[in-house]
Chains A and B, each alone.
Chain A
Amino acid sequence: MSLATVRVSPGFEQYLPQEYYDLVKDSQFVSPRKVSEMGSFKELIEEHPMCAGCAMTLFIRTMYVALPSPENTVFVGTAGCGRLVLSQGAVPFIYGNYGDTNAVASGLKRGLGIRFADKPKDVIVAAGDGGLADIGFSMVMHSWFRKEKFTTVMLDNEVYGNTGGQESGMTQKGMVLKMAPNGKKFEKMDMIGLAKTAGVAYIARVVPTNPNRVAATIQKAVLIAREIGPTFVQAYTSCNIEYAIPTPKVMDDAREVENARYQFTEYFSDDAKEYWDNIVVEKRKIKGSATVE
Chain B
Amino acid sequence: MSLKGSAYAVLPGPEGLLPPSASVMGVVLPEEGEGLLEGRIVSEDESMEAAAIALLTRKNPTLFPGPLMIWGWTEHTREKSSPFFEIAHEIPGVRIIPMPDYRPIYPKIDPEAVINPCHPNLTIWHNKIEACILVGLHCHFANVTLKMIRAGTNCYTIALCAEAGHEDAMASVPNVGAEKLYKFAEALRRVKRNGVKPLYQGHGIIPSGWAQQAHLTGADIERPQEEVHVGHGLSHELERGLDENEE
Contact = CB atoms under 8 A, between A and B. Distances in A.
A211 to B, nearest CB: 24
A90 B70 CA distance: 16
A16 B113 CA distance: 7
Contacts of A20: 98, 100, 209
Contacts of B73: 6
A16 B98 contact: yes
Nearest to B136: A9
A288 interface: no
Interface residues of B, number: 35
Contacts of B69: 9, 12
Interface of A is mostly: loop
A17 B98 contact: yes
A6 B72 contact: yes
A10 B80 CA distance: 9
B208 A87 contact: no
Interface residues of A, number: 25
A88 B107 CA distance: 10
Contact of A49 (B70, B107, B110): B107
Contacts of B97: 15
Nearest to A47: B107
Interface in A3-39: 6-18, 20-21
Contacts of A87: 103-104
Contacts of A8: 70-72
A144 interface: no
B120 to A, nearest CB: 15
Contacts of A18: 110, 113, 209-210, 213
B103 A89 contact: yes
Contacts of B208: 15
Nearest to B108: A47
A16 B210 contact: yes
A189 interface: no
Nearest to B95: A15
Contacts of B77: 9
Given A49-B107, A88-B105, A10 B98 contact: no
Interface in A188-234: none
Interface string A77-91: 000000010011110
B70 A14 contact: no
B209 A14 contact: yes
A150 to B, nearest CB: 21
Given A10-B78, A15-B98, A17-B113, A49 B210 contact: no
Nearest to B205: A15
29 contacts: A8-B72, A9-B70, A9-B77, A9-B78, A9-B80, A10-B72, A10-B78, A10-B82, A11-B85, A13-B210, A14-B210, A15-B65, A15-B96, A15-B97, A15-B208, A15-B209, A15-B210, A16-B100, A17-B98, A17-B209, A18-B110, A21-B210, A47-B107, A49-B106, A84-B106, A87-B104, A88-B103, A88-B104, A88-B106
Chain A to chain B: the 7 pairs with minimum beta-carbon distance, closest first: A17-B113, A14-B211, A21-B210, A9-B72, A9-B81, A17-B114, A15-B96
Given A7-B72, A10-B72, A84-B106, 8 more contacts: A9-B72, A10-B78, A14-B214, A18-B113, A48-B106, A49-B107, A88-B106, A89-B103
